[in-house]
């Protein structure tokens, strides 16, 4: 609930209203966020075109927040001066892919569905029509992304983010400011790299740089001293994860 993490939200909510959003908006936040938003809407006498569903996080434990056929999102505790949660986005296991070259042209859709589930296909008399292995390829990879900001260096985070494809971890300060990082419940470049290394993630992206720094080059240099496959987050840029 520090301002740098939610002050923009009211503007975003109102912009979506002006853009004629009608779909419900689900907001997951710490205690107090609902009160702040509702109060602002109340005193500006604003009625939105859409409904907001608030869900209060429980910052001391890991919770499943969202799940559908393709994705699940869980929260986990971070270690900051005030309650703070990290988030893990994880794709569900994907269906088998069809081997297009081997597949007969006139195959029934119901049979395709069975093949994708990993089953062999039989006719009504019980004769084998399609042996699964001959018509399918392994599924695409299930990707994962974890978001950790703001937090003190804390190894209890590691089991929650183990082996993710991409880890966002804050690095508010350069390494020499570690006493200051500890005092303000933030992390340094080396500490972000250390968490990435311990969690054996594939790639690390750092951010949440203190405004005192004008040049971000030392941030990436220092982080790579500990964890080579690291990048700087830059506002507005997109990072793709291949599947």
User: Among residue numbers 38 through 67, which ones bind Zn ion (CB under 5 A)?
Assistant: none
Please, what is the minimum distance in Å from the beta carbon of residue 90 to Zn ion? 24
| Closer of 2 and 97 to Zn ion (Cβ) | 2
Please, what is the minimum distance in Å from the beta carbon of residue 208 to Zn ion? 6
Q: Which two tokens stand for residue 158?
A: 């590691």
Residue from the set 29, 130, 148, 150 that interacts with Zn ion by CB under 5 A: 150
Backbone angles phi and psi of 232, in degrees to 5: -85, 140
Half-sphere exposure at residue 61, Cβ-oriented, CA atoms within 13 angstroms: 5
User: Among residue numbers 178 through 217, which ones bind Zn ion (CB under 5 A)?
Assistant: none
Reported for 137-142, long-range contacts at CB under 8 A and 24+ positions apart, including other chains, are 137/96, 137/97, 137/98, 137/99, 138/96, 138/97, 139/93, 139/94, 139/95, 139/96, 139/97, 140/94, 140/97, 140/243, 141/94, 141/242, 141/243, 142/90, 142/91, 142/92, 142/93, 142/94, 142/243
> Candidates 68-76, 82-90, 93-101, 149-157 — which segment interacts with Zn ion by CB under 5 A?
149-157
Neighbours of 166 (CB within 10 A): 20
Among residues 4, 123, 176, 243, which one is catalytic? 4
Is position 4 annotated as part of the catalytic site? yes
Q: Does 29 bind Zn ion (CB under 5 A)?
A: no
Please, what is the minimum distance in Å from the beta carbon of residue 150 to Zn ion? 4
> Candidates 4-12, 17-25, 57-65, 217-225 — which segment interacts with Zn ion by CB under 5 A?
4-12
Q: Does 4 bind Zn ion (CB under 5 A)?
A: yes
List contacts with Zn ion (CB under 5 A). 2, 4, 150
Q: Which residues form the catalytic set?
A: 4
């Amino acid at each position: 609930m520090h301002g740098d993490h939610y002050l923009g939200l009211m503007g975003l909510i109102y912009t979506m209203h002006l853009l004629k959003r009608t779909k419900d908006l689900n907001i997951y936040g710490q205690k107090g966020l609902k009160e702040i938003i509702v109060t602002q809407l109340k005193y500006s006498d604003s009625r939105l075109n859409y409904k907001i569903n608030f869900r209060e996080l429980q910052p001391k434990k890991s919770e499943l927040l969202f799940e559908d056929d393709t994705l699940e999102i869980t929260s986990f505790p971070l270690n900051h001066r005030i309650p703070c949660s990290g988030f893990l986005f994880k794709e569900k296991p994907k269906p088998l892919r069809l081997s297009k070259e081997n597949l007969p042209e006139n195959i029934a859709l119901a049979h395709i569905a069975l093949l994708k589930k990993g089953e062999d296909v039989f006719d009504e008399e019980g004769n084998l029509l399609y042996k699964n292995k001959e018509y399918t390829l392994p599924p695409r990879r299930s990707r994962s992304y974890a978001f950790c900001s703001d937090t003190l260096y804390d190894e209890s985070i590691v089991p929650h983010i183990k082996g993710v494809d991409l880890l966002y971890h804050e690095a508010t300060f350069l390494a020499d400011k570690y006493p200051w990082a500890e005092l303000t419940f933030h992390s340094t470049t080396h500490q972000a790299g250390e968490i990435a290394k311990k969690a054996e993630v594939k790639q690390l992206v750092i951010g949440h740089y203190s405004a005192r720094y004008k040049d971000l080059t030392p941030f990436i240099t220092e982080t790579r001293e500990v964890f080579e496959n690291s990048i700087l987050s830059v506002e507005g840029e997109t990072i793709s994860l291949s599947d």
